[in-house]
Amino acid sequence: MNPQGIAIAAASLILLRCAVQVWLEWLNRAHVRRHARTLPEAFRGVMDEATYSRSVDYTLAKGRLEQLELVWDCLVLLLVLFSGLLPWSFRVLADVLGQSPAAQAAWLFVLGLVLSLPDIPFALYRQFKLEQRFGFNTTTLRTWILDRLKALSLATVLGYPLLWLVLKSVEWAGEHWWLWGWAILLGFQLLVMLLAPVLILPLFNKYTPLPEGSLKNRLLALASRTKFAARAIQVMDGSKRSRHSNAFFTGFGQFRRIVLFDTLVEQLTEPELEAVLAHEIGHFKKKHIPKTLLLSAAGSLAGFYVIAFLAQLPAFNSAFGFPSGIAPALLLFSLLSGTVTFWLSPLAYWWSRKNEYEADAYAASVMGGPADLKGALRKLSEKNLSNLTPHPVYSGFYYSHPTLLEREAALK
């Protein structure tokens, strides 16, 4: 295919994805409206009429914002790809700093920061208008800005060296650089997973040991009878930023830590918190985490192979105004890959929902029945104003977890 054909194909795929995403948002909002007037019978006892009405309003408001953001992102991407700004910046950098791996890594890093700027107004509106309107926002503008400055510092300390190492591998390994680049990325991801609980996560939140008492004894007893090794149970000050709630664990082996949001501890009873932890342990017992890591590693390996292949096609880089080279191909792949992988998202999310069903079933088995887990899921749906009636096609494209109705039906 010639450069013009590649450019036309890329623009067409971007527009097609945008159109489908906007249509999916419209489809979901229309489906929610059809169920908006009366609380569905299946959810009586989950929410009252007033709360259900607020959940509908919340879903519709998020959908409107998402539609605007999708169109905006599409326009920005088309502008960035076809305005000539990217190759111009590449030529300027080459004239000033040369084309060493260090210089090209700096170009990619700075571009990544610049390309994140158009999303800032939407992030601000979402946090301080939409989330504030529905009572979820608890953060301040100062904390919001500090979070982004910390993220920028981490990106500089970790991201730039990673880019440099990947580009340097071209000099070390020649045509097989993509294997080395993949190995470098994989090692970096494992290192971050090890360091995150100790060095990274505490930069953003405060973690305190769960106080002595019946809840801690209950959760430790669960960990003991399920043979789930954990070094500590901690409470995270999630309420510092939002009233949404969650639970997770970090680390490996004896260094594994169970983390509960303080909002979760406030919202659920002790048996319900135990059921939530049993669900998380279910992911561990069913080996969902190593399977996910293996799939991610396979995906990144395929990605590096594609980048190496595209970099060898003169027509690909030239379609967007670039000379041949790894760094431009790496940038273009990062900008265009989402247009392709979007069509695979139903398969990825189907697999994720399958894992959730398995973790639910495990939790029900170790809890002696599904009652406590169902109680937790219902309360979380109510407190988070979850969409109880998403369109099935929409949830197939976007939901990593089954809907409440689907989870309860599976637990029966």
Name the residues annotated as catalytic.
Answer: 280, 360
Query: For strand 207-209 and strand 232-236, is the pairing parallel, antiparallel, or unpaired?
Result: antiparallel
Of the candidates 279, 227, 272, 224, the residue with the CA atom closest to the CA atom of residue 249? 279
Q: Looking at the DSSP assignment, which residues form a beta bridge with residue 233? A: 258
Of the candidates 216, 217, 284, 293, the residue with the CA atom closest to the CA atom of residue 248? 284
Q: Are 272 and 375 in contact (CB under 8 A)?
A: yes
Cα–Cα distance for residue pair 221/227, rounded to 1 Å: 10
Decide: helix, strand or coil at residue 248. strand
Of the candidates 249, 346, 131, 270, the residue with the CA atom closest to the CA atom of residue 139? 131
Cα–Cα distance for residue pair 73/147, rounded to 1 Å: 23
Q: Is the dihedral of CA 59, 63, 66, 70 positive or negative?
A: positive
Tokens 């399958």 correspond to what residue?
Answer: 354
Name the residue type at position 391: H
Q: Are 368 and 345 in contact (CB under 8 A)?
A: no
The tokens for 98 are 């040369």
Cα–Cα distance for residue pair 36/60, rounded to 1 Å: 10
What distances in angstroms separate CA 402 from CA 240, 295, 314, 359, one per listed residue? 28, 21, 44, 12
Cα–Cα distance for residue pair 106/164, rounded to 1 Å: 8
The tokens for 152 are 């920028």
What distances in angstroms separate CA 151 from CA 142, 156, 157, 184, 280, one per listed residue? 14, 9, 10, 21, 27
The tokens for 392 are 């099935």
Q: Looking at the DSSP assignment, which residues form a beta bridge with residue 247? A: 260
Cα–Cα distance for residue pair 140/392, rounded to 1 Å: 36
